């Protein structure tokens, strides 16, 4: 097979790593559930924990994201996030609301769960 040499600006596609985080504690993932979640302007989900790791990307609007012990950041369309299993996080909609995709990494027989907590 012949190879084609192209420069980066000529390539028909590009790949960029947006998120590379450890999934701790390590556990087998039997399935991934993907949800599109929409929050109304100013909606505060508050501090919460998940029973599995969650990764995702903001599609529209903005959110204020903060994991316990880490400074708050504002995420906008195209930015990605990670909510570690069992770690309190805050994920609140900005003034324009937010829509995002959340990928729940689930063990065999596991369903996504969320529990409200204090940060």
The reply to whether 2 falls in a domain is no
Enter the tokens of residue 68. 């316990």
CATH number for the domain that contains residue 77 = 2.60.120.10
The reply to whether 112 falls in a domain is yes
The reply to whether 25 falls in a domain is no
pLDDT tens for residues 59-115? 999 999 999 999 999 999 999 999 999 999 999 999 999 999 999 999 999 999 999
Question: How sure is the predictor about 6, in pLDDT bands with cuts at 50, 70 and 90?
Answer: low
The reply to whether 83 falls in a domain is yes
Count of beta carbons in the 10 Å neighbourhood of residue 58: 21
What angle (nearest 5°) sits at the alpha carbon of residue 73, between those of residues 69 and 75? 135
Question: Residue 25 half-sphere exposure, CB side, CA atoms within 13 Å?
Answer: 4
Closest CA to 63 of 41, 85, 83: 41
Enter the tokens of residue 91. 């994920």
Range of the domain at 90: 31-116
The reply to whether 4 falls in a domain is no
Q: What is the pTM of this model?
A: 0.86
What angle (nearest 5°) sits at the alpha carbon of residue 118, between those of residues 91 and 53? 50
Domain count, the chain: 1
Task: Name the CA dihedral angle for 58, 37, 33, 108, rounded to a multiple of 10 degrees.
Answer: 110
């Amino acid at each position: 097979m012949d190879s084609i040499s192209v420069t980066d600006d000529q390539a028909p596609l590009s790949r960029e790593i947006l998120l590379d985080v450890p999934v701790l504690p390590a556990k087998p993932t039997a399935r991934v559930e993907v949800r599109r979640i929409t929050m109304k302007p100013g909606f505060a989900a508050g501090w919460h924990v998940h029973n599995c790791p969650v990764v995702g990307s903001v599609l529209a609007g903005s959110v204020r994201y903060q994991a316990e012990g880490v400074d708050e950041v504002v995420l906008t369309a195209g930015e990605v996030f990670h909510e570690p299993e069992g770690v309190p996080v805050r994920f609140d909609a900005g003034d324009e609301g937010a829509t995002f995709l959340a990928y729940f990494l689930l063990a065999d027989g596991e369903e996504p769960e969320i529990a409200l907590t204090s940060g």
